[in-house]
Structure 1
Amino acid sequence: MTAATFDGFVHADGDRLVDGEGRRLQWRGMGLGNWLLPEGYMWVLHGGPQSPRAIESMISTLVGQPRATEFWRRFRDVFIAEADIARMAAEGFDHVRLAINARVVMSDDAAPLDDGLALVDRLIDWCRTHRLWVVLDLHGAPGGQTGTNIDDSPNGRPELFEDPRHRERTIELWSMLARRYRDETVVAGYDLLNEPIPDDYQHRYADDLAGIYRDLTTAIRAVDPNHLIIYEGSHWATNWSIFTEVWDANSMLQFHKYWSPPDRPSIQQYLDARTRLGLPIYMGEGGENALDWFQTMFQLLEDHEIGWNFWPWKKIDTTTSPCSIDPPPGWSDIVAWAAGQAPQPSADDAAKVLDDLLDRMRLNRCTYRPDVVNAMMRRVPLRLPATGFTFDAGGASRPRGAQPLAGFRDDDGVTVRFTGDGEPDWAHASYSQPAEGFEVVLDTGDWVEYEMTLAAPGVLEVTVEVGGVAFPDVAVDGVSLEPSGTAGLYRTPVPIAAGTHRLRVTATRGDTSLVALTVAPG
């Protein structure tokens, strides 16, 4: 990772993303969801309100408008604070992607909103202090670009593409932001539209999406010649069929990745586009899954020199984000009422719960989950699923008799066996369940390699989980680990230096069914 430097602008250099000094960037970032654009699932409002305007209505119904206004003012101060940015920097992240709701920074008559813009300015100042770049992400465009809760669309339709007034306001919004930040090198780029036109809309409005991207590019370049422009594909940023030409030389293409196999075939269309168009590519949003999926997916991206951004930093009662807000007593009553399953709490009772919730949103009150960060960074201590071996040419021995698993890493020349029933389910946390497991089967002499990073030097212990009785040999950077006397447990003979290392597992005592490795300080 290259530490953020603000001497010059992040920009595209052919198909590479580079900083102002021309150094290639391997981005590792964090998504700031739910702060300027709340989403219902991040509040565990299952069966309740999902969009920002619906959540705002819920709060005002509970406690009245004056107290609701104060709630949101305090929420903006505590949900993302400087302590959060400092922690991201300490963990090794180099940028944040800020999800912006248009109506937080611009009024209905296209006037800038000082209070909302001050929040963006404050975040930029914090990121300057802690050496992170900022990507400005228009998550909720005027009228809505998706027609779902995630863009705060007022009528559940992508009216950005249906009403020319919304199109003009979106152009005015990006012109205003580009004019405001044109000299700000902490701002890395402009992410024009988040996940536009999903599902059937991807076909109906494909030409309109390409057209508004061109218009936004022209408007931005009229006031800002320097910042990187980022274009997302349609259908949750997975369909890149509109990208047939280069609209701006200083641009980058973005895809998102959720609930799909973490393997090369799943990203091949994006790799092909990078080669064809000569532009850098970026996985700007991914997560909401299990630790094994994180480890493999982010290994996949980095082995293919794709920068990434994890989604999101903080949610209520979660195991899939670094920060989990512990819900206060009484929050479940509000959730049940919002879902129509319980009576409405009194205004005073609800106000007490909301006040407690705000206090619990502070970083020092959250339950921090280092295992989530360790999985995406492949940082010790961590679990390495057998199928998380590296994707580069040196990642496996590629035996002739391999029997790849159809639909998952089937281009890697390694025997992978699914041990669950039916077909693998890549959705959410099911990937990590024992019933949904995988094994890598190694014949004698076969090997696979994994990447791991140590924050500090030290002796390591590696526990190998196998599906049979044959245990492999294990080595780190070519140095064999010593069996401890306990089956499957190995130790490094000498301390290992801080930094990134290769861990090789070789079948030497007969065919080996490898399930996982756990790496921990010795």
Structure 2
Amino acid sequence: MKDHIDYDVSGFVKAQGSKLVNGEGREFLFRGVGFGSWLLPEGYMWLFPDQGDRPRRIEQMIRDLIGEEKAKQFWEHYYQKHTSEADIRQIAEEGFNSVRVPINARFLLDEEETSLFKEQHLQIIDQIIEWCRTHRLYVILDLHGAPGGQTGTNIDDSENDQPELFMDERNRRLTIEIWHMLAERYKDEWIVAGYDLLNEPLPNWFSAYNSMVMPLYQDIVNAIRKVDNRHMIILEGVHWATDWSIFTNKLDDNLMLQFHKYWNNPDTESIQVYLDKRVEWNVPIFMGEGGENNKEWYAGAFRLFEDHEISWNFWTWKKMGKGNSPCRVKTPNQWQQLVDYLQGGAKPDVVTAERILWEYLDNLSFDHCVYYPYVVRALFRRPQTHIPAIFYGYRGEGVSFSIANRTSEHVGFRINDGVDIRFVESEREMVNFQHSKGEPWQIDERLYVLLAPGDWLAYDMQVAPYSSPTLYTIHLWVSAFGENGSIAITVDGDLVGVAEVYGQTWNKVQPELGFSLDSGQHTIVLKAEKNPVRIEWFEVISKGPVPLG
């Protein structure tokens, strides 16, 4: 259990102008993680092909392999193993203050219709709420897969690859009933921060239904407000939550707008439309899903959100076989047999299939996962984190950077700042960084900043809460631009040393300097002196505890 109190997590959350405030009226931001693939299993997090890309297909495979009764046992264990109190404890200890719980309507609805909702599954949500209250993490309830599907894709467990939420009145009514039920059940739970009404409705190819989203939102809000006037309403735009053109009228006074950000530039230009809407409507905004990339992108993107006072939620906490989430589920032995079977290969016998699946359940437990602290360090920009120089602060000239002469040449990134950003290989052709969804934004092009004498860039760092004072130094990957140069290094306004830069070949420079940092935010400034210098990245490296006495 955490040995400190998170004072942000206290009382009902509400929107107050463009800010979030807690029950004591204190302003704060959500800094959280999402539980992708828990209550709505997603095939890509199981390393499955398209034939197993959504819950209903995964469920059918498991029934086919081990039978109906053992399949029911599997899922009972799955829901308990995937996200447990151990996960919640670790999330809280890392300094996150919230979690987003994606829910599939089929997880809640009783398909045998003996009653409308599955009480035993609602109790799983009750349990996560209880753990989050204990460990002081706000809970955002997210209807990730609405009845019939709001996207018509695998991510909402669509049956026919159509957005049947908007095509069948019964699905619409069920969606409203789900939210009325959840609001009635949790109306007095202050640890529940808000209701995220629909995840990523209607990709562009189903935009013919866009006009139906806001009326549905309004009907859901009306149903919620009949029983619950205290919880915040969270609305997502269309087309993976990126298109806010549907937001033409405010539906509620306690409202937050949500966008998602994947695989594109972590710069202010890419989110300007959301910043403008925040000003227009005077409401808080939320980056409710972002991740699935590399730690360098995280170090830039999540600092972008912090500097613009945008709440954020990382996607996702745990998945199989990947190193870009905090928790990696180990791939079971013979897992490939399941993949092959889904693709038309041989069917494993019952004994083999059961062994593989139960090994997977065992691997799901937090204590059996591989934990990657570097992912969390990148999100919070904590030492030791590799920080590309292009990800200096986002709070504008005079605060996050200062340059004497603005460049008119750029590589399509942070173009409004005027900082000279270039490719390491001068002969490379310019590329388009605006990747499509599904393709990681990589820094393979190796960008650097070119600073003239007197130019400086500022980088905010976070030292974990309740950390003991520690000595640090800085390593830089740099080269001169012509004559030998130097870089003055300032920490929280104090000059701590100078890094000498010799030659035009890229080299790691490790200046003889040391400085102490305690928990909280700190600012590192890199300033060019004497001659122009090129900086590709730097790291803040721990040298151990501050000596006593």
TM bucket (normalised to shorter chain) is: over 0.9
Unaligned 5+ segments in structure 1 are none
Alpha carbons of structure 1 residues 181 and 290: separation in structure 2 relative to 1, 3 Å: same
Any idea what the Cα deviations from partners look like across 1:401-443, whole Å, max 9, x if unmatched?
424525311111211113455414465785445x422111111
Unaligned 5+ segments in structure 2 are 501-506, 544-549
Q: How far is 1:47 from its partner?
A: 4.3
Query: Take 1:375 and 1:389, find their aligned partners in 2: how far apart are those partners?
Result: 14
1:75: which partner in 2?
78
2:322: which partner in 1?
318
- Identity among equivalent positions (%) equals 43
Q: How far is 1:161 from its partner?
A: 0.5
1:250-399 equivalence runs, <5 A:
250-340=254-344, 342-393=345-396, 394-399=399-404
Q: Which amino acid aligns with 2:320?
A: I
Query: Take 2:508 and 2:162, find their aligned partners in 1: how far apart are those partners?
Result: 58
Secondary structure of the 2:289 match is strand
Alpha carbons of structure 1 residues 68 and 421: separation in structure 2 relative to 1, 3 Å: farther
Contact 2:263 2:441 in 1 (8 A): no
1:49: which partner in 2?
52
Matched, 1:198 2:210: no
Secondary structure of the 2:228 match is coil
Greater CA drift, 29-38 or 62-71: 62-71
TM-score of the aligned structures, taking structure 1 as reference length: 0.95
1:78-157 equivalence runs, <5 A:
78-108=81-111, 109=113, 111-157=116-162
TM-score of the aligned structures, taking structure 2 as reference length: 0.91
Secondary structure of the 1:352 match is helix
Q: How far is 1:500 from its partner?
A: 1.3
Query: Take 1:7 and 1:466, find their aligned partners in 2: how far apart are those partners?
Result: 45
Contact 2:263 2:440 in 1 (8 A): no
Secondary structure of the 1:205 match is helix
Secondary structure of the 2:340 match is helix
Secondary structure of the 2:204 match is coil
Query: Take 2:110 and 2:440, find their aligned partners in 1: how far apart are those partners?
Result: 42
Alpha carbons of structure 1 residues 438 and 430: separation in structure 2 relative to 1, 3 Å: farther
Q: How far is 1:491 from its partner?
A: 4.9
Query: Take 1:257 and 1:480, find their aligned partners in 2: how far apart are those partners?
Result: 36
Alpha carbons of structure 1 residues 6 and 474: separation in structure 2 relative to 1, 3 Å: closer
Contact 1:295 1:384 in 2 (8 A): yes
Q: Which amino acid aligns with 1:253?
A: L
Matched, 1:498 2:519: yes
Secondary structure of the 1:201 match is helix
Greater CA drift, 391-400 or 483-492: 483-492
Alignment match of 2:187 (pick from 149, 172, 182): 182
Contact 1:399 1:414 in 2 (8 A): no
2:476: which partner in 1?
464
1:423-438 equivalence runs, <5 A:
423-425=431-433, 427=435, 431-433=441-443, 435-438=444-447
How much is the aligned-residue C-alpha RMSD, in angstroms? 2.0
Matched, 1:20 2:20: no
Alignment match of 1:449 (pick from 450, 458, 461): 458
Contact 1:399 1:413 in 2 (8 A): no
1:475: which partner in 2?
490
Q: How far is 1:106 from its partner?
A: 2.2
Any idea what the Cα deviations from partners look like across 1:252-273, whole Å, max 9, x if unmatched?
1000001110011111110110
Contact 2:318 2:329 in 1 (8 A): yes
Query: Take 2:5 and 2:118, find their aligned partners in 1: how far apart are those partners?
Result: 34
Secondary structure of the 2:75 match is helix
Q: How far is 1:199 from its partner?
A: 1.6
Q: Which amino acid aligns with 1:458?
A: T
Contact 1:290 1:432 in 2 (8 A): yes
